[in-house]
Amino acid sequence: MNQVLLYTSVILASASFFLCVYACVRVGKLLNSVKGLEWDTVATLTGDIGTIKKSIQTLNNRINGLNSPKLNDELLHYAIKQQNGAMHPPTDKLGG
């Protein structure tokens, strides 16, 4: 039983060591890739991305509003009423 615990702990320690080395290598690659990047550039790019995202969301909302089923139903009811001649302006209570 003691040998099983010993081998298990050695295997887990080895695995954790290799995972730590792998993480350190990845962090090193990340630091090398952003070495020449200035924070002003990052801030500008972040702001530009936010502006573009907001513009796209506004455009999508407009497009979705034009194709909404509520608007289509209202237009259909209006067209049916206009064809049936039911569109007469009210004459009994005009004015204030």
Alpha-carbon distance 37 to 30, whole Å?
A: 12
What is the structure's pLDDT at 94? 58
Can you say how many angstroms the Cα of residue 71 is from the centroid of all Cα atoms in its chain?
Answer: 26
What average pLDDT values come out for the chain (96 residues) when binned by 10 residues?
92 98 96 85 89 91 74 78 68 60
pLDDT at 62: 83
The DSSP secondary-structure symbol of 67 reads T
What pLDDT, on a 0 to 100 scale, did the predictor assign at position 22?
98
pTM of the model: 0.41
Domain ranges for the chain: 1-36, 38-86
